[in-house]
Amino acid sequence: MKIQDLHSVFLANPSVCTDTRKIKANDIFFALKGDNFNGNRYAQKALDNGASLAVIDEEKYQIDDRTILVKDVLTTLQQLANFHRRQSKAQVVSLTGSNGKTTTKELINAVLCKTYRTIATKGNLNNHIGVPLTLLTIQPDTEIAIVEMGANHLKEIEFLCEIAEPDFGYITNFGKAHLEGFGGIEGVIRGKSELYDYLINHNKSIFLNADDPIQIDKVSNYTKKYGFSSENSKYYNIELKEAQPFVSINLEDTNIQTNLIGSYNFPNCCAAIIMAKYFNVELNEIKNALENYTPDNNRSQLLNKNGHYIVLDAYNANPSSMKVALENFNSLNRERKILVLGDMFELGESAEEEHQNIADLTKKLNFEQVILIGENFLLTTSNNSKLRNFEEFASFLRQNPFQSKSSILIKGSRGMALERVLDLI
């Protein structure tokens, strides 16, 4: 079946699914494969659960005219998404970066949906499967689609751009994330910059943080760029008033008081503001959107439990995000500050050095107690409490409970699942 014919079928049933456990009536099921699963085996189950069609790539699983046999299901999904994007009148805003992508995406959507009909990436569905699934949620009346792009190796962002064909793009930052796949920080910069490379090559528009010298260097000779800065008068000026603990912004003599903690969230707000200004969203609408956005999903959440002041930032971690989180926590006007830090993953040969750097940083800053959890932190040289895994930490905490009214930062990579700490406090 040709992609345009499959697209006609999709328009009659404009909802796709790759997981039989989440099938809704009339979904089109795409039988994707992975290292440990074969979606073709679940085609019959998908149809039994209400799917209208199942797209498969193994002939032996063909059932009847409700199964569509293609050469490769994943490629077909990607091609369908690209075709659908091309048929749409929506403008596509893509963003990538080492830290803050999902929060920035949510903020951009919050401000733009005040004036436009928008769709945005759900959660962090930002890879070679998530980007197509996001594009396929574009509706006939969608005006702006905000598409988050993640990557852990070179050429990945380039490939995602070929699917999404963005009209606009923004890179949050270049940090020490996925060093194993990128081969070091220079690889990270090259890989994330593939978004700007695509936009420049296709004469599209770039948004940038003009206080970031790497971003300035990447687009120095390009004219279709729109930046924000707290220093450079050539770009749109936005002022950080304070972050104690919440980010407070001065914009055109208007105060915006957000629910986001940490000065590291200031550029994320600025990205949303510069795009809102570009798309002519009213200032009062920008203020309303930013002040009413509340983070969730373990991302910089401020919680109170049993008298403790808790910063829960356990969604993910890399050396760059860990460093700014520690520095920000250190700057807060709080007493009895405690760190609970978990291992950072996907660092490859840099793992030992980067974990030692974080352990060293905890010595320089003003914390009453530091608890390090994980195999990598266990190998560091420090006087901190070091525990091999979460089970050892749980046992340690039962014997050494936190003092009353402590301030606690909880941060680690997703695989550490440190949100479980809350159940022990």
> pLDDT tens digit string along 355-372?
999 999 999 998 999 999
**For residue 171, pLDDT beyond 80:** yes
Superfamily for domain range 301-424: Mur ligase, C-terminal domain (3.90.190.20)
Arithmetic mean of pLDDT, 18-24? 94
Whole-Å CA distances, 227 to 21, 43, 78, 217, 419: 43, 48, 31, 13, 36
Query: For residue 91, which phi and psi values (nearest 5 degrees)?
Result: -90, 135
Residue 140 or residue 297, greater confidence: 140
CATH of 88-292, one of 1.10.10.10, 3.40.1190.10, 3.40.630.30, 3.20.20.70: 3.40.1190.10
Q: How many residues does the chain have?
A: 425
Closest CA to 335 of 385, 403, 382: 403
pLDDT band (50, 70, 90) for residue 299: confident
What integer best gives the mean pLDDT of the chain?
95
Supply the pLDDT for residue 290: 98
Judge residue 64's burial from the number of C-beta atoms within 10 Å of its C-beta, 0-12 exposed, 13-18 middle, 19 or more buried. Answer: exposed
- pLDDT, position 97: 95
What is the reported pLDDT for 330? 94
pLDDT at 297: 77
**pLDDT per residue as tens digits for the range 192-218:** 999 999 999 999 999 999 999 999 999
The structural domains of the chain, with segments of one domain joined by +, span: 3-72, 88-292, 301-424
**Which CATH number fits the domain 3-72, given the four candidates 3.40.50.970, 3.40.1390.10, 1.10.150.120, 3.40.50.740?**
3.40.1390.10
What's the predicted TM-score (pTM) here? Answer: 0.92
On the question of pLDDT at 124 being above 90, the answer is: no
C-alpha 214/C-alpha 203 separation (Å) is 20
- Residue 274 scores a pLDDT above 80: yes
The CA distances from residue 395 to 197, 252, 414, in Å, are: 50, 52, 21
CA distances from 162 to 169, 195, 233, 253, 359 (A): 13, 10, 34, 41, 41
